Structure 1
Amino acid sequence: MSQIFGRGANTAARIALPSLVIVPVLILATLIFFRWTDYVTGEDRIVDQPVAFSHRHHTSEVGIDCRYCHTSVTEEASAGLPPTKTCMTCHSRLWSEEEMLQPIRTSWVTGERLRWNRVHDLPDHVYFNHSTHVTNGVACTQCHGPVGDMRLIGQEAPLTMGWCLDCHRDPGPNLSPPEEIFAPMPTRRAKIDAAAIHALLRDYDIEAGNLTDCTTCHR
């Protein structure tokens, strides 16, 4: 009776059977790794805008406070984007003929608002409130990075759930005193001691145990 399988069948089986395990594991590992890459999280990504707005120039060089443009940051969930009127407060007189500012002048004449493109885009199932953070010791640069050194704004942090939880589990070292909340650059200081951390937690009345409740961010 002739053999059903050839002489190389055993060798082929020895190679194929482990592959049935190894290949799916490699695919799964690749997918998991890809999930945390900058391509997915958007970290270090620069988003094109209708006007090349330089935060570095306006905050660090000119000295404009964050709240001048982001007027609702201390009171509402959204920090808010400036209407064209805010831009024209200065640019009706300064750089009024500059070509790069033409979209602002067009918006002012037509009454059609500028359509800024979102840089920090959280999933719909995530609730984030700017006012809650800035009024409780979280500086703008804690999440947005050194805005005062950014000619074009980009996403500095991964904004993943794990990244948020790192701070929520141990908020103390990430807190800033009120006078540093809206600084355009992170404050350089020596390591904060335990007493200073405790004082900030007390002053802001923060109970860290509640910050990791699911309903804090998912409502």
Structure 2
Amino acid sequence: MGSVFRPAANFWASLALLFLALALVAFSLVVWLWPRSDSARRVNWAPAQPVPFSHQHHVSGLGIDCRHCHNAVEVSANAGMPPTYTCMTCHSQIWTNAALLEPVRNSLRDDRPLVWRRVTDVPDFVYFDHSIHIAKGVGCSSCHGDVANMALTYKAKSMTMQFCLDCHRDPGPRLRPKDKIFDTSWTRDATTPAPEVLLALYGAPQRNLTDCSICHR
């Protein structure tokens, strides 16, 4: 009586099982790694906005201070977004008919705020206060990157729990002089005070900054 399977069947069955095992391993790696990747967290991604606002033009080019638009950053948990009236302070005089700024003019005319898409965020279960970070010497670029030179604003940092913990475990090297906090292109150099000096200057808290209650309230 003849065999049901040819001798090569064992080879093909083994090969199929090998490919199945490799596929399962690859799938598991993708499922585990993808949520942890910069792509999944949209790092270096600039979301579409109602107006393609350029920090490079307004900050680096025209010298407008961050606080002119984000006027709550030193006193509130939220940095604040500028109302249309702030934009129209200048644009009622310049680029008054530019098609690019039609949404801004419509916003003023209809008394409806522009809806900007959030670029950098943390989950709802994370508490973050801009004002305390500014008060303790953490510069804007530590979380937002070199915003002043971004033609379109994109997410520069992952904003993961690990990202925050790296700083909270050793904040000294991340601190900067008060006059450099809003300078997003600033980097440490030989004239920068030592981390220990900056920690003392800002009165860094003695409590453990990795306590769960710091960020989860």
Q: Please tell me the root mean square deviation across aligned C-alpha atoms, in Å.
A: 2.4
The number of residues matched between the two structures is: 217
Fraction of identical pairs, as percent? 44
CA deviation string 1:106-155 (max 9, x = no partner): 11111111111111132111111111111111101111111111111000
After superposition, the C-alpha distances for 1:38-87 in whole angstroms (9 at most, x for unaligned) are 32111000111111111011111111111110011111111010001111
Match of 1:50 in 2: 50
- More deviation, 14-23/91-100: 14-23
Residues 1:30 and 2:27 aligned together? no
Which SS does the other structure have where 1:46 is aligned? coil
Distance 1:142 1:208, change over 3 A: farther
- Find the aligned partners of 1:163 and 1:117 in 2 and give their Cα distance: 22
**Cα distance in 1, alignment partners of residues 4 and 207 from structure 2:** 67
Letter in 1 for 2:82: P
Q: Is the 8 A contact 1:142 1:186 kept in 2?
A: no
Output the CA distance in 2 between the equivalents of 1:110 and 1:20: 60
Query: In structure 2, what is the Cα distance between the partners aligned to 1:208 and 1:97?
Result: 55
TM-score by length of 2: 0.88
Map 1:168-207 onto structure 2 (within 5 A): 168-183=168-183, 185-190=184-189, 196-207=194-205
CA contact (8 A) 1:169 1:208 kept: no
Whole-angstrom distance in 1 between the partners of 2:191 and 2:200: 15
Q: Which runs of 5+ in 2 are unaligned?
A: none
The Cα shift of 1:102 comes to 1.1
Structure 2 residue 145 is the aligned partner of structure 1 residue 145: yes
Change (3 A) 1:139 1:19: same
Q: Given the two structures, how large is their TM-score scaled by the length of structure 1?
A: 0.87
State the alpha-carbon separation in 2 of the partners of residues 216 and 126 from structure 1: 9
Residue in structure 2 matched with residue 156 of structure 1 by the alignment: 156
CA–CA distance in structure 1, aligned partners of residues 202 and 137 of structure 2: 7
